[in-house]
């Protein structure tokens, strides 16, 4: 299975990536390759750089790449704008989805979906056609239609915000989705909804990176690889049982790896 | 992690209405004195009562002082260095649009206000004012069939002097303030609307004000009278060429609503704002006031203020009639070095009167945007209510916003409610929208129009779309 996947070209290649913000180095040489159909989990303590890695892949302007490359479908995207990355199929699920007062969720989702469709040379959807599409996708995250008429994320509960993220992923049909602590703040029912949503959206052509602290999401979505990050580096990579071991032994266990390296 | 430095100063989109029409004009000499006022009055062949009105106003103005309380800083205006009458040279008497100088028609065409029979807007009647005079008014006959009078105020003086004498200066007396007194002395043209009893005006009425010459001021005067149980929706638009000098614009608008009448007055103000260094631009000192004279009458102001170097403007309502209603919905956008001090006054005089204020100020660049509002409950205003909401949005970290709500209540049995908020477009919000494929500028404009939604919902449809586009344009190429 694994070897079969690797016959195709990688979706994402992060090569020896270093990055800083306000001259403070955050990433110190991260390498990571994701092939179609693969699910990668990145784990690590708060502040280890895993959220930063996700933001840099999505193009957040606050970080400077000081060394290394990010390649998406073989092309270097280091200098692409965040919107260009999104349009071409990179999706970042936010740990803390941002509230945007006054902007209707429906209109936001429509403009966003159309930006992606335009890139794919698909016909842009008018309000009516989009309503049809979004209705179908709402099913995936079991969200009520009423969410659409509210302002983007405003007054949403933690769980609602996360489901809204997965709804966006469902609409944008990305090539790769980086989900930053999508499981945090979810009760067990919401976690199942989100996890089954992610599974429904992903397929043999898509790649997924799950950034998480906890095993419980990985019980629902079994990763092919687990990476442990510490101080801006990936210090260990293993298969799904690495996550279990990590849960058992705690991050203190990983401190030994740093000493080893 | 918000890096505030990245949300930078706003750069101005070139102003698209900045052209000058090359046309021969008739101007009088610079300066202001009683002789000048007599010349203006004479040129307009005015009756004596109006000349007296002007001279009285002028004498009051001479004794008044320019107000200094607003949050505005500007070089003192030299009132003797302004031309008070400037008009495109035309044939003496124009009987139809065919006789209007094609250059003028072309000008309004370019501004998106076609006036000729073939091209004129189908759903709105337009009064086009160029510098000191009204050029043309469309749909006059159609309106006349309903008894609606829509013409320039100069024509109204000639054809309906009784109405002018009865109502002019009754809402904004000449002594009201410095700029109103100046306007009363020298006003040149503007629009006049009369809606007879029981008539719902069959189409929107609109005035388009165009300043063309650089050294003359524009002093227009608008008077709208809605008789019992009548209604009208009136729109006003304005643009001016780009000059590196400041042009003074001091208008007065008076609205009168009788029993059960309603007037909706919408403005999209896009006077030239000056360049990024603050050179040039219109000084916009305007007095707009409506009198809800009749029972259950209603006056609603909505404004989108995007232009002018300086805006000093407080469209207000005097709520006299029992159960009368006043509304003020405002979006004021300032950019670069623009300054706006704008708001409203809701004066509750009659019982059970109601007013609503929704103000949205957006400041970008190094601009300064202040809301100033007064809500007063008089001794007889029992059971009256006011609700005010004033929100400010800051773009970048050089802009400033102020809110000055004044509340005076002499009536314990009345309610005043005030809410205010300030927000900033954050880099995180922009990144969130961008990370969903939405272009940077569209993201900004989505957030700005989201912020203004409550006000845009109040604008007539075509105007709302225009306002949305205008704000996007003003902020285009802006932050980043």
Residue A184 has pLDDT above 70, yes or no: yes
Q: Which of A24, A83, A84 to mutate against chain B (most B CBs within 10 Å)? A: A83
Asked if B440's CB is within 8 angstroms of A81's CB, the reply is yes
Asked if B442's CB is within 8 angstroms of A60's CB, the reply is no
User: Alpha-carbon torsion B58, B62, B64, B67, what sign?
Assistant: positive
Q: What is the pTM of this model?
A: 0.80
Give residue-wise pLDDT tens across range B161-189.
999 999 999 999 999 999 999 999 999 88
* Predicted local distance difference test score (pLDDT) of residue B25: 72
Give A15's pLDDT tier (boundaries 50, 70, 90).
Answer: very high
User: Alpha-carbon torsion B43, B47, B50, B56, what sign?
Assistant: positive
* Predicted local distance difference test score (pLDDT) of residue B134: 73
The chain B residue lying nearest A22, using CA atoms, is B3
Identify which of B440, B446, B452 has the shortest CB distance to residue A83.
B440
Higher pLDDT pick, B199 / B104: B199
d(CA A74, CA B415): 66
B206 to chain A, closest Cα gap in Å: 30
The average pLDDT across A229-245 equals 90
Identify which of B431, B438, B446 has the shortest CB distance to residue A60.
B431
B420 to chain A, closest Cα gap in Å: 15
- The predicted complex's ipTM stands at 0.94
The average pLDDT across A234-260 equals 82
Identify which of B431, B438, B452 has the shortest CB distance to residue A61.
B431
Higher pLDDT pick, B465 / B225: B225
Give residue-wise pLDDT tens across range B419-435.
998 888 888 999 999 99
- Number of residues that make up chain A: 261
Helix B178-186 / helix B48-63 crossing angle, nearest 10 deg: 150
d(CA A103, CA B356): 23
- The B-side interface with A (CB below 8 A) comprises 1-3, 6, 423, 426-429, 431-440, 442, 446-447, 449-453
CA trace torsion A221, A224, A230, A232 (10° rounding): -100
Higher pLDDT pick, B305 / B431: B431
- Which residue reads 């102003």 in tokens? B15
Give B117's pLDDT tier (boundaries 50, 70, 90).
Answer: low
d(CA A100, CA A104): 9
Asked if B446's CB is within 8 angstroms of A115's CB, the reply is no
> Which residues of B are less than 8 Å from A92 in CB distance?
435
d(CA B38, CA A217): 85
Residue B288 has pLDDT above 80, yes or no: yes
Give residue-wise pLDDT tens across range B229-285.
999 999 888 666 666 677 888 999 999 999 999 999 998 888 777 777 777 888 889
The average pLDDT across A152-170 equals 94
């Amino acid at each position: 299975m694994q070897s079969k996947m690797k016959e195709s070209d990688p979706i994402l290649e992060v090569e020896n990536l270093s990055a800083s913000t306000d001259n403070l180095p955050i990433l110190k040489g991260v390498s990571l390759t994701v092939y179609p159909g693969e699910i990668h989990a990145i784990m690590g303590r708060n502040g280890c750089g895993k959220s930063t890695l996700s933001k840099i892949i999505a193009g957040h302007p606050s970080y400077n790449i000081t060394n290394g490359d990010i390649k998406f479908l073989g092309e270097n995207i280091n200098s692409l704008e965040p919107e260009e990355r999104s349009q071409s199929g990179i999706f970042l699920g936010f740990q803390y989805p941002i509230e945007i007062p006054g902007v209707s969720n429906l209109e936001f989702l429509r403009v966003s979906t159309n930006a992606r469709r335009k890139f794919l040379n698909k016909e842009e959807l008018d309000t009516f056609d989009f309503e049809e599409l979004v209705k179908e996708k709402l099913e995936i995250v079991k969200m009520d239609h009423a969410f659409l008429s509210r302002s983007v994320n405003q007054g949403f509960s933690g769980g609602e915000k996360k489901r809204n993220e997965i709804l966006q992923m469902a609409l944008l049909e990305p090539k790769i989705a980086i989900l930053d602590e999508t499981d945090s703040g979810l009760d067990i029912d919401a976690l199942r909804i989100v996890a089954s949503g992610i599974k429904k959206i992903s397929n043999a052509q898509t790649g997924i990176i799950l950034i998480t602290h906890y095993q419980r999401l990985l019980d629902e979505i079994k990763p092919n690889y687990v990476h442990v990050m510490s101080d801006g580096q990936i210090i260990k990579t293993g298969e799904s049982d690495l996550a279990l071991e990590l849960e058992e032994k705690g991050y203190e266990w990983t401190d030994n790896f740093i000493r080893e390296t | 992690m918000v890096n505030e430095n990245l949300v930078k100063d706003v750069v101005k989109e070139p102003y698209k209405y900045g052209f000058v029409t090359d046309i021969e004009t008739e101007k009088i000499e610079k300066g202001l004195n009683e002789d000048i006022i007599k010349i203006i009055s004479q040129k307009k062949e005015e009756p004596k009562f109006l000349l007296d009105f002007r001279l009285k106003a002028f004498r009051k103005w001479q004794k008044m002082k320019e107000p200094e309380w607003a949050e505005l800083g500007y070089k003192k205006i030299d009132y003797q260095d302004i031309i008070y009458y400037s008009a495109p040279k035309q044939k003496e008497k124009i009987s139809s649009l065919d006789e209007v100088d094609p250059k003028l028609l072309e000008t309004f065409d370019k501004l998106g206000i076609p006036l000729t029979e073939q091209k004129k807007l189908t759903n709105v009647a337009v009064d086009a004012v160029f510098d000191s005079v009204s050029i043309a008014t469309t749909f006059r006959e159609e309106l006349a069939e309903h008894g609606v009078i829509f013409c320039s105020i100069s024509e109204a003086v000639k054809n309906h002097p009784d109405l002018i004498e009865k109502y002019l200066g009754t809402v904004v007396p000449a002594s009201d303030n410095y700029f109103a007194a100046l306007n009363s002395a020298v006003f040149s043209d503007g629009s006049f609307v009369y809606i007879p009893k029981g008539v719902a005006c069959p189409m929107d009425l609109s005035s388009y004000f165009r300043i063309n010459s650089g050294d003359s001021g524009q002093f227009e005067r608008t008077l709208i009278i809605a008789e019992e149980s009548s209604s009208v929706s009136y729109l006003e638009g304005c643009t001016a060429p780009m000059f590196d000098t400041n042009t003074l614009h001091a208008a007065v608008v008076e609205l009168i609503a009788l029993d059960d009448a309603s007037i909706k007055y919408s403005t999209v103000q896009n006077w030239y704002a000056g360049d990024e260094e603050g050179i040039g631009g219109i000084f916009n000192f305007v007095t707009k006031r409506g009198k809800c004279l009749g029972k259950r009458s209603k006056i609603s102001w909505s404004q989108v203020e995007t232009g002018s170097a300086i805006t000093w403007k407080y469209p207000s309502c005097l709520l006299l009639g029992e159960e009368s209603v006043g509304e003020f919905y405002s979006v004021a956008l300032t950019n670069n070095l623009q300054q706006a001090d704008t708001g409203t006054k809701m004066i509750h005089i009659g019982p059970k009167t109601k007013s609503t204020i929704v103000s949205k100020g957006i400041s970008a660049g190094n601009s300064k945007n202040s809301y100033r509002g007064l809500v007063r409950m008089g001794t007889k205003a029992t059971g009256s209510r006011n609700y005010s909401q004033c929100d400010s949005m800051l773009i970048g970290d050089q802009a400033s916003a102020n809110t000055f709500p004044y509340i005076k209540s002499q009536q314990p049995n009345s309610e005043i409610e005030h809410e205010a908020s300030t927000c900033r477009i954050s880099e995180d919000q922009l990144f969130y929208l961008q990370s969903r494929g939405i272009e940077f500028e569209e993201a900004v404009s989505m957030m700005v129009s989201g912020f203004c939604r409550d006000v845009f919902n109040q604008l007539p449809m075509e105007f709302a779309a225009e306002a949305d586009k205008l704000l996007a344009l003003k902020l285009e190429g802006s932050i980043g």
